[in-house]
Structure 1
């Protein structure tokens, strides 16, 4: 569609939740291109390419909305004594039939129509006196999500970076269980937060980013501790397994002792070969029953997942290049291929089951160690456009669109994350079934769930394929329905939810999330008085309902921020957008302001920046200042406090440097000390620097901190050895 935007196009876009403008700041409104609006509508199945098409589509939409009795999904919060607005708007005399999740039926004709309904997603059929019929999914959700049981601190770590002397070249679920057991018992931690452990796109080289997975529904078997699979002890080809263990030892030594990067593909090649041998062992009756129960619980979704991976072995990971008949999961050709590849489908099904089992075992270890929360898992914002989920759920993804972010103060070009968005209309039509199933699968083993870019529950920036991020638009979701489903599934699991709400946030979003019990994320360096003088926000003014941290996987470690090493890194890589001297000066001023506040609060002896680097004179104590930063976090009212585990050994390197690809080894670095030497888990837990840092939180341990059992103090020599 060309020419000036018409009122009809704007109205049509509004009725489908597509924005024609947005406000990056309270005093600034940006109009999005018509091309983005038309493309977004097209992805929603609406033709807006000509004025005639717009008028016809608008008439159809207004007529459909005027005639319908019910929207596709209706929300009722359990604490509300009134019917949802969609039910109160029904014509007088409308007869309502409710079928609950359990299959019980009831008929209702007078308010409140939802009285006595249990929590769940039910089906409602309304029949008006004039004969019109409407059907809807009715989500009855608890008012709020579960709250953290008391106040606690925990460790933040990218699991792949946490190598032990038993791992096969990258951190695994055995290492996670070991860390959780040690952190809970010896360090009094309340949780361990890890990166997304979703299934990666198959093949080599694969994308190492855990935030662009093939599937969010099922975990990646690369994280398995092969020796912990019960059938491992009974595998017949011991010589083959011994050879693989030797190769794994060399791979591990290359990372821990020789400075090599983590090679996920090499690790998976070894584990895949070993698992081929291990899975040849028949399951015993009890194990078989557990496996069958897992298959029944996950049904078609698990079958589709395993089928995709079996087909990818023959046709490559990009399903859009497969033979025509195989591009649809319900085609006759796919059914024949599934039967022909039954052994491979079974192999990948078993892998999903085994990984789920070790994830649940890690959570049990964490809780038995006294952690009130346990393992905090991370939900990525989307999936790879040619991976397992996008193949299996084509009907709910918006074809030709990608999720990203508009230009902002941190990135003038905007961002394209290369992730296809869910269609809000299709989600609503199926009662948010894909979202419900995804959450249910994750909550099986998550004491808490961190939702990356939680603002995506409200709206996402859609970018038409082939367009730059600047030429996208926001598409809105039914946030009430998304939050209701989240509250329902989190409540059933008894799990906490943390929303990553950093960056540009639409007005009212944080307030809505807080009202429903979703914790926010507060990072020290961003917590300033932005509506006042811009100075660091004193601890008493921080919000309580949050996870407070000094850094994240996308930011410099604390020592690098304090020393200015992060500026030097970006300068070496040619990533600075201003002269290096200006960047260094700003980093010095930023660190100095925070250290001045820490000093004024009596949290650190030095009032200046740490020494011997770009930011200050020698003689100051870097470790003391890192501890002071965490004492500051403890002074805030934050319910949860996160400690970036690499901060415990002085690591300077970010795990991910946004804006880089080949320039920097994102997602491939082991935890290292200040000299860049990899530190295995066994040494990490014995490191004096880490023990001293965690002693900052002794009062939480001694006061219980919401723990479910007695806590021990960190003692000299406590380790995994």
Structure 2
């Protein structure tokens, strides 16, 4: 009889955890059993389960090597070799280790097997295996190498699998200026919220370029963005636009393409005529003037023009430099790019036929598996449509890179700072095209119960399973970090707790019935460090909420920047910690996309809106409002105590409004702090009241659609913005 709870231990499923109040919580045996099912173990069928476990165990030892070994500069450079005990008794046995380095070099070494240290042994289905520790004598360069071993004796020859050997720095990259103690500020923005005189109703990559340059002129050194991962261009559902529930984390949302910046437009008269027509200009005018982003209207307008360009200009013409640039992009993107483009084209095809193809799960059966020959045939039959979506990814990638390059050429220390979502939706392209079989389609990432969410949270994001990731030598994670560290000087890892553990529950079950599953923090941080250096990309870990102390220590040791939100940094007595007492290896902020704006918070607009939406009862809203009044007074007391407001500024919070003057004082207050990075939001520069996102809502509020209340060009010309940013820069330099 298999001990299910011991098996759960072996598979990294936690028995306990410390909750948000630091109380020890025991995870139920039933929840742990359910997690094993999500990870692919048939816990209710002993025979089937035993068969899987026997196969896994034998596979580990018959392969001789692990599928992957990650080594950092702080590690002993060694790996494990598993050999039958009988080989150790054969003095003729010779071990040959062959290393294939990333740069193409090969290193091989042969030694008697008996000279390789035995660290342990294990009886596996009647055969005893020695577990040997092989120490590398060569200093390998950082990178992705491979290793195989051959064991030759008089009686037998054994060959191993090819192991991925990943050698990593022990710390992530940090720009020299910041290492030398320079403190900088920047802007966190949601690109879709940006208004400008020329965009098509949503912020685009041309706006990003202007935003970067405008922020730098004001003294800022970065612009942080919500995830720009690929969305669902064919799906009309307005609730399917969350940047944190993407179709792919490896590609870009094509809605951000600036159509008028596409070089091929110059050679396409039909597209130019369409854009300049009175009817189309009126259409753009309506899209631009809307209070909320009309995602459907914007994507339809852009796709109409981009398809005209694609149909009238040979974008893959080998005789032109542009055509060759696109073909190189296609070659670099490989199978992954083709799968992304095929998924978008397939969804569009189904919608054109009147099918609500919101997910691959509703495709015809033969198209639900990316490896199906029917998918390959469909791709051949509709190759022009697939090529079109490849071209759109090419344009998006090119324009994002151009914005970053302009920022760096202008002298920005960081420039673009990208955001990496914690996962992808079940209906995503990444799950459909999961050639490494790492995603669990029956699980959902979320969070355990806490005071703010007593029932827990289930985000509908498909988890990657730890064992499958390891068997795939972390390929999906490596590709993801490579994709997201391009065209930026920093990356924010959303819900960084996932580097250590994720709360996973069965789809359709209450979130409180989930459990924590552990991942290899050592391996993931090693890969992040390697890619961080290769891309010169600073790493910011969103370490808010219930973060285990092991992860906190590991993030600090590896050099990742922490995340400090002013309203969360409270002392034991309820007062607000002075920003000068924050840790330096961190980014601080007043507000985020999941919080009310400064005006909204100070005026309790989030509470009144929460009451309207059913998030709070009347009693809860009143109670929270009373607490808010105390918090506001403590903030004002701290501001006076630290000299962040003048002596003649009111001392009674009830007499203070969140004016532009007071908002400016708060920004300067934070800029005087010790964090190396400070992030401000443009919403708080111009007094925006409405939030962009209200956690816990879906269709009740237009999340991810609210725009800024002023054009970008106008904002940077405001006198109070110029004076505020000048003082922010001075405060950071002092």
TM-based fold match above 0.5: yes
Distance (whole Å) between structure 2 residues aligned to residue 536 and residue 264 of structure 1: 40
Contact 2:497 2:547 in 1 (8 A): yes
Please point out which of 417, 427, 451 is paired with 2:459: 417
Please point out which of 631, 654, 664 is paired with 2:701: 664
Shift of 1:389: 1.1
2:610 counterpart of 1:575 = no
SS of corresponding position for 2:174: coil
SS of corresponding position for 2:201: coil
Q: Deviations over 1:477-503 (max 9, x none)?
A: 111111111111111111111111111
Distance change in 2, residues 1:597/1:396 (3 Å): same
Contact 1:119 1:488 in 2 (8 A): yes
2:267 counterpart of 1:229 = no
Distance (whole Å) between structure 2 residues aligned to residue 134 and residue 486 of structure 1: 28
**Higher mean Cα deviation, 323-332 or 626-635?**
626-635
Distance (whole Å) between structure 1 residues aligned to residue 2 and residue 577 of structure 2: 44
**Higher mean Cα deviation, 557-566 or 652-661?**
557-566
Corresponding residue number in structure 1 for 2:387:
346
Q: Deviations over 1:576-630 (max 9, x none)?
A: 254332111101111211221111010112698899xxx6125x67333322222
Distance change in 2, residues 1:20/1:89 (3 Å): farther
Shift of 1:253: 4.3
Contact 1:359 1:445 in 2 (8 A): yes
Corresponding residue number in structure 2 for 1:707:
none
Distance (whole Å) between structure 1 residues aligned to residue 136 and residue 525 of structure 2: 22
Shift of 1:134: 4.4
Q: Deviations over 1:278-318 (max 9, x none)?
A: 22212461101111111111110001111111111122241
2:147 counterpart of 1:124 = yes
Distance change in 2, residues 1:593/1:325 (3 Å): same
Which residues in structure 2 correspond to 1:288-299 (within 5 Å)? 288-299=323-334
**Higher mean Cα deviation, 690-699 or 52-61?**
52-61
Corresponding residue number in structure 1 for 2:205:
173
**Higher mean Cα deviation, 375-384 or 40-49?**
40-49
Distance change in 2, residues 1:278/1:59 (3 Å): closer
Distance (whole Å) between structure 1 residues aligned to residue 469 and residue 688 of structure 2: 43
Corresponding residue number in structure 2 for 1:711:
none
Distance change in 2, residues 1:537/1:286 (3 Å): same
Corresponding residue number in structure 2 for 1:240:
274
Distance change in 2, residues 1:331/1:694 (3 Å): same
2:308 counterpart of 1:267 = no
Distance change in 2, residues 1:413/1:440 (3 Å): same
Which residues in structure 2 correspond to 1:275-286 (within 5 Å)? 275-279=306-310, 280-283=312-315, 285-286=320-321
Shift of 1:419: 0.6
Corresponding residue number in structure 2 for 1:43:
38
Corresponding residue number in structure 2 for 1:10:
5
Distance change in 2, residues 1:579/1:694 (3 Å): same
Corresponding residue number in structure 2 for 1:139:
166
**Higher mean Cα deviation, 328-337 or 233-242?**
233-242
2:396 counterpart of 1:363 = no
Contact 1:101 1:120 in 2 (8 A): yes
Distance (whole Å) between structure 2 residues aligned to residue 67 and residue 30 of structure 1: 39
Distance change in 2, residues 1:429/1:364 (3 Å): same
Please point out which of 225, 235, 241 is paired with 1:203: 235
SS of corresponding position for 1:579: helix
Shift of 1:254: 2.7
Q: Deviations over 1:69-100 (max 9, x none)?
A: 443221111354x3246479999875422112
Distance change in 2, residues 1:64/1:390 (3 Å): closer
Corresponding residue number in structure 2 for 1:103:
104
Corresponding residue number in structure 2 for 1:518:
560
TM-score (norm 2): 0.87
Contact 1:523 1:548 in 2 (8 A): yes
Contact 1:450 1:497 in 2 (8 A): yes
SS of corresponding position for 1:393: coil
Distance change in 2, residues 1:101/1:658 (3 Å): same
Contact 1:24 1:504 in 2 (8 A): yes
Distance change in 2, residues 1:310/1:62 (3 Å): closer
SS of corresponding position for 1:74: strand
SS of corresponding position for 1:396: coil
CA RMSD in angstroms comes to 2.6
Shift of 1:102: 3.0
Shift of 1:189: 0.8
SS of corresponding position for 2:492: strand
Distance (whole Å) between structure 1 residues aligned to residue 417 and residue 461 of structure 2: 23
Q: Deviations over 1:422-449 (max 9, x none)?
A: 1221211121111111221222212111
SS of corresponding position for 1:426: helix
Corresponding residue number in structure 2 for 1:480:
522
Corresponding residue number in structure 2 for 1:375:
416
Please point out which of 399, 422, 434 is paired with 2:476: 434
Structure 1: any 5+ residue segments left out of the alignment?
A: 1-5, 672-677, 704-721
Distance (whole Å) between structure 1 residues aligned to residue 584 and residue 219 of structure 2: 21
2:635 counterpart of 1:562 = no
Distance (whole Å) between structure 1 residues aligned to residue 32 and residue 95 of structure 2: 38
Contact 1:32 1:473 in 2 (8 A): yes
Shift of 1:241: 2.5
Shift of 1:26: 7.8
2:469 counterpart of 1:456 = no
Please point out which of 23, 29, 41 is paired with 2:24: 29
Distance (whole Å) between structure 2 residues aligned to residue 403 and residue 231 of structure 1: 42
SS of corresponding position for 2:424: coil
Distance change in 2, residues 1:53/1:702 (3 Å): closer
Distance (whole Å) between structure 1 residues aligned to residue 84 and residue 720 of structure 2: 65
2:215 counterpart of 1:183 = yes
Distance (whole Å) between structure 2 residues aligned to residue 607 and residue 127 of structure 1: 80
Corresponding residue number in structure 2 for 1:717:
none
Contact 1:609 1:616 in 2 (8 A): no
Distance change in 2, residues 1:339/1:7 (3 Å): closer
Distance (whole Å) between structure 2 residues aligned to residue 534 and residue 70 of structure 1: 54
